[in-house]
């Protein structure tokens, strides 16, 4: 009978340990999404800004060869993410969107292509704002004043991509604080419930003369392991989620450099360990201060 009870208790302890780890892992996974979102927003914002396109239109007297030469020169400028030369044939195909439409347009102009060669470029993120693009426009019109006729871009799109992300960062900041508060409360509750089943063991150790420090030691060490294991599992779930999203989302790529990944991993591990230890210590102090009759 005693062996069955011991086996039952051992199974109960393992189940409690596993359920605690799973619960903390899911909470850390949620916190990791928030932290990863904060770290990844910069990359998403950079991609959005660098998708803005500026078109350069040249004077009618400028030859296609000259425009192509200017395109090669602009590729050496450090302000541009991408520079693309658009030939007259490429311009009319882009304008018409269909071969049949292209032939129809050419027939209207007696087979002559009415569209000139142009250059399209995408600025780097730090220049993809009103001030940066105005500076680029002024510089282009100064350097190529004899060739350039117009520098065209959508000011509304520039304003929208910059203002939109400022609002989004503010919103995600508020959500992050709320989620972290909820996550800490959930981890604390999970730890407290796990220790509740061991309250008689804690009180028995105290009654036979064990000091509070001696009683806390194994529980805090177990909390450290639980937090570490939970953080590793949560981080694994995050990596899996980001990998899955990269295969689903085609327009935006979720990517992290080594520095951001280290920050994310360190944050998850630190939060997992420190919150688990603090929650365990608070719950232990509560049970250590309770009277024997209050345990029932």
Mean pLDDT value across residues 255-269: 81
Report whether 190 contacts 25 (CB < 8 A). no
pLDDT reported for residue 21 = 81
The pLDDT mean for the chain works out to 77
pLDDT reported for residue 110 = 56
pLDDT reported for residue 96 = 58
The string of pLDDT tens digits covering residues 176-202 is 677 777 767 777 777 777 777 777 777
Mean pLDDT value across residues 134-145: 92
Q: What is the DSSP code string of 139-197?
A: HHHHHTTTTEEEEE--HHHHHHHHHHHHHHHHHHHHHHHHHHHHHHHHHHHHHHHHHHT
The fraction of the chain above a pLDDT of 70, given in percent, is 73
For 53-153, the fitting CATH number among 3.30.70, 1.10.3470, 3.90.1310, 2.60.120 is: 3.30.70
Report whether 96 contacts 102 (CB < 8 A). yes
pTM value is 0.57
The string of pLDDT tens digits covering residues 68-78 is 899 999 999 99
pLDDT reported for residue 111 = 54
Strand positions, DSSP E, the chain: 54-58, 80-86, 118-123, 148-152
Q: Fill in the DSSP letter of residue 79.
A: T
Q: Where are the domains of the chain?
A: 2-47+161-295, 53-153
Neighbours of 268 (CB within 10 A): 23
Mean pLDDT value across residues 219-235: 89
* pLDDT for 237 beyond 80: yes
Using a 10 angstrom Cβ sphere, with 0-12 exposed, 13-18 middle and 19 or more buried, the burial of residue 9 is exposed
pLDDT reported for residue 144 = 92
Report angle CA 5, 7, 12 to the nearest 5 degrees: 95
pLDDT reported for residue 107 = 58
The string of pLDDT tens digits covering residues 76-132 is 999 999 999 887 666 666 665 555 555 565 555 555 555 678 899 999 988 888 889
Segment among 6-15, 34-43, 142-151, 190-199 with least mean pLDDT: 6-15
Measured in degrees and rounded to the nearest 5, phi and psi for residue 255 equal -140, 150
Question: What is the band of 43 on the pLDDT scale with cuts at 50, 70, 90?
Answer: confident
The string of pLDDT tens digits covering residues 281-295 is 887 877 777 665 555
Roughly what angle, to the nearest 10 degrees, separates helices 155-196 and 199-207? 50
Question: What is the band of 212 on the pLDDT scale with cuts at 50, 70, 90?
Answer: confident
């Amino acid at each position: 009978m005693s062996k069955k009870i011991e086996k039952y208790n051992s199974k109960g302890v393992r189940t409690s340990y596993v359920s605690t780890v799973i619960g903390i892992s899911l909470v850390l996974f949620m916190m990791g999404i928030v932290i990863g979102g904060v770290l990844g927003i910069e990359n998403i914002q950079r991609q959005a800004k660098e998708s803005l396109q500026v078109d350069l239109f040249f004077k009618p007297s400028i030859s296609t060869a000259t425009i192509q030469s200017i395109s090669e020169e602009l590729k050496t400028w450090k302000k541009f993410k991408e520079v693309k030369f658009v030939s007259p044939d490429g311009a009319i195909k882009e304008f018409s969107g269909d071969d049949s439409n292209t032939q129809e347009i050419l027939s209207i102009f007696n087979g002559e292509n009415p569209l000139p060669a142009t250059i399209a470029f995408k600025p780097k993120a730090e220049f993809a704002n009103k001030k940066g693009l105005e500076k680029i426009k002024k510089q282009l019109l100064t350097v190529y004043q004899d060739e350039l006729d117009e520098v065209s871009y959508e000011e509304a799109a520039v304003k929208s991509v910059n203002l939109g992300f400022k609002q989004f960062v503010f919103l995600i900041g508020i959500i992050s604080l709320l989620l972290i508060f909820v996550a800490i409360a959930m981890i604390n509750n999970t730890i407290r419930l796990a220790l509740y089943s061991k309250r008689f063991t804690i009180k028995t150790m105290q009654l036979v003369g064990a000091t509070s420090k001696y009683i806390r030691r194994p529980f805090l060490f177990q909390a450290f392991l639980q937090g570490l294991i939970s953080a590793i599992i949560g981080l694994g779930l995050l990596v899996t989620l980001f990998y899955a999203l990269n295969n689903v989302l085609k327009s935006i790529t979720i990517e992290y450099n080594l520095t951001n990944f280290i920050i994310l991993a360190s944050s998850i591990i630190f939060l997992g360990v420190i919150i688990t230890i603090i929650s365990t210590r608070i719950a232990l102090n509560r049970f250590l201060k309770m009277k024997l009759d209050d345990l029932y």
